Amino acid sequence: MVPRDVEAGSTTEGLPLAPSLGPSLENAAVAAHSTTVDLRVVTISGLSIAVAGLAALIAQLLTRLIAFFTNLAFYGRLSTEGMSPAGHHLGAWVIAVPVIGGLVVGAMARYGSQAIRGHGIPEAMQQVLQNESRIPARMVWLKPLSAAIAIGTGGPFGAEGPIIATGGALGSLVGQLVATSASERKTLLAAGAAAGMAATFGTPVSAVLLAIELLLFEYRPRSLVPVALAAATGGAVRYALIGPAAMFTMPGLLPPTAAAFAGYLVIGALIGAASVAITRAVYGIEDAFEHLPVHFMWWPALGGLVVGGVGYFAPKTLGVGYDNIEQILGNHLLTAAIVVLCFAKLVSWSMALGSGTSGGTMAPLFTIGAGLGATLGSLLLRVSPELGIDLKVAALVGMASMFAGASRALLASVVVVFEMTRQPLALLPLLGACTTAFLSSSLLMRNSIMTEKIERRGVRALTEYTADFLERVAARDCGLCAVVTLRAEQSVATTRDWLASHAAGSSHQGFPVVDADERMIGVLTRRDLFDAEDAALPLRALIQRPPVVIHDDQTLRAAADIMAREHIGRLPVVTRAEPQRVLGILTRSDLIEAHSQRLDEQRRAAAWFRASRRRT
């Protein structure tokens, strides 16, 4: 059988047919037989690697741009050497620097693209879900430039969000320039985003996980392979340009005891609740800006006024602040200093992000989370010294838990902190604490800091990925309808009389037409039979197109797909050994009925849960 309209990226197994079947059945449309990978995956992987190389270079360029604007704004010199704004000597004039940066970013948002506002990941998610992963080409340069200006003039952001958005825009652009499907463009978008993150942090594995949890909305080899290769490429470029050292160096950690592990679980749960409060605060501030009687172009300048004011009293809140994270992780700051720093950072960052300027969320969340984790660890040690909590591990746990609770990217949160620090002894506490943070956050708030914005726009973000139930059921296992066939040589008039008699089976909407040897030669519908002008014609003469069939070992998902593609409601089911013999008829009702098994399983689980609660 030769398939028609086979979906890109899938293949259908051709079947040898007996010469006597005739041209109709030889050209039968067969449901596509999907494969996990094929040569198309190789092509997309090659494009992903190319995108990754460019995204990694853009990531390094963004880092240099941030350093350039930092040196220019706070030290009045032309240099790309990495510097912290905290060492400036501007005095009270420092308040004006973020305001000027906000004015520039606001103008770029008004006259360039509003999509540069915020940290960029929600916008990328929305393009995936609503616009077939099409991102305007101008975002490839607008987003990194606006982020570099915002951060370089003191914005309390990290570079990871903007570079993820930029890498995604680059992948989307390549997908639009090359002939790709929407699914392949999504893969290229995620590949660019993952490569950007890997090149920024040197965290290729967590970049893949973040792409799966926030951008791909699926877990399939067809998308996983290109994204993984892209993340590896981004990490390799970073190693080549910067070196393989961990992003944050830490002294040795203590192996976690059972008591300490329990303490880390508590810290994770508390920070998960705190992440909800922070998410609501950010969106509350954003709502407040929405009610201001001025154009959104001016909002980043107003947010910059707060950033500058906070930065005047707490200079360490200005800029990315990776050095702050390293000091907290190394236990080099007193608890009081950590509390002040993290509170000031929270105020500065939430006001800046809520005002709609361009910047990321990961680094600020890491700073606040690490500080909160270290503070909670210190409090637990004072209450119960026997817990044996390591304050450095508590800071790591807090750092990862804050991101896990805010973003709901559970696995990415665990692995990214491990890759940043290369501390294997922290893996167990990280996994436990991030899970409790994820749990408490999910119980307290439906959406995350990534999905709240697009949910408010009416875009439903998928957060649970399950295997398609229809993929689990083969056509032969779903109770096929009895086959009611028509003889090829009987006349149209005779068939019409039978349909009008209301005999058993005559109410069906479609009928396989078979020859004297019970071999199918086509399918006719009631409309075909009643629209025929010559009632004396044999049914064979009415067959105008090849039949659409499905093999008995194919899944109901394949059946549903070909029904939708061919605009039909019934499929003859055939075997591969004898494709001309009809085993049964599969209908739309069979597809709906197949879900009854899944619903029965859910009802039994709910009944068991209710019974167990009564027993306890």
Most confident stretch, 25-34, 117-126, 557-566 = 557-566
Question: Are residue 449 and residue 506 in the same domain, yes or no?
Answer: no
Q: Label residue 358 exposed, middle or buried (CB < 10 Å: 0-12, 13-18, 19+).
A: buried
Supply the pLDDT for residue 476: 83
297 and 353 co-located in one domain = yes
Residue 612 pLDDT more than 70?
Answer: no
Instruction: Indicate whether 217 pLDDT > 70.
Output: yes
Is residue 120 predicted with pLDDT exceeding 90? Answer: no
Residue 5 maps to a domain:
no
In a domain, 270, yes or no: yes
CB atoms within 10 A of CB 227: 32
What is the band of 26 on the pLDDT scale with cuts at 50, 70, 90? low
Do residue 441 and residue 488 come from a single domain? Answer: no
More confident call, 5 vs 518: 518
Return the pLDDT at 299: 93
Domain count, the chain: 3
Residue 19 has a pLDDT of: 34
Per-residue pLDDT, 449: 87
Picking from 426, 425, 60, 422, the residue whose alpha carbon sits closest to that of residue 246 is 422
Any domain includes 201: yes
CA separation for the pair 400, 410 (Å, rounded): 9
Last residue within a domain, chosen from 184, 207, 241 = 241
Q: What is the pLDDT of residue 20?
A: 35
Q: Please say whether the beta carbons of 389 and 263 come within 8 A.
A: yes
Q: Measure the N-to-C terminal CA separation of the chain; round to a whole number of Å.
A: 60
Express as a percent the part of the chain with pLDDT over 90.
41
Amino acid at 502: H
Asked whether the beta carbons of 486 and 523 are under 8 A apart, the reply is no
Query: Taking residues 399-412, what's their average pLDDT?
Result: 94
**pLDDT category, 140, cuts 50, 70, 90?**
confident
Instruction: Give the CA dihedral 195, 196, 197, 199, nearest 10 degrees.
Output: 80
| 379 plus 494 within the same structural domain | no
> Looking at the domain assignment, is residue 614 inside a domain?
no
Return the DSSP state at 203. Answer: -
* Single pTM value for the model: 0.81
- Does residue 280 share a domain with residue 311? yes
Could you tell me which residue, 18 or 589, shows the higher pLDDT? 589
CATH number of the domain enclosing 563: 3.10.580.10
Q: Which domain holds residue 170?
A: 39-241
Tell whether 252 is covered by a domain. no
Q: Is 583 helix (H, G, I), strand (E, B) or coil?
A: strand
In a shared domain, residues 312 and 427: yes
The 3-state DSSP class for residue 607 equals helix
Residue 566 lies in a domain: yes
Residues 75 and 155 in one domain: yes
- Asked whether residue 462 is domain-assigned, the answer is no
**Statement to judge: residues 401 and 299 lie in one domain:** yes
Question: What digits encode the pLDDT tens for the residues 427-478?
Answer: 999 999 999 999 999 999 988 888 887 787 777 776 677 777 788 788 888 7
The whole-number pLDDT of residue 8 equals 35
Domain final position from 456, 480, 499? 456
Contact yes or no for 445/279 (Cβ under 8 A) = yes
Residue 612 lies inside a defined structural domain of this protein: no
Distance between CA atoms of residues 78 and 71, nearest Å:
6
50 lies in the same domain as 86: yes
Looking at residue 615, what is its pLDDT? 65
Give yes or no: residues 572 and 545 share one domain.
Answer: yes
Give 473-541 as a DSSP string.
-BGGGS-PBPP--EETTSBHHHHHHHHHTT-TTTT-SEEEEE-TTS-EEEEEEHHHHHH-S-TTSBGGG
CA angle, 398 then 412 then 128, to 5°: 130
368 in the same domain as 380: yes
- Are residue 309 and residue 426 in the same domain, yes or no? yes
Instruction: Return the percentage of the chain with pLDDT > 70, whole number.
Output: 91
CATH number of the domain that residue 439 is part of: 1.10.3080.10
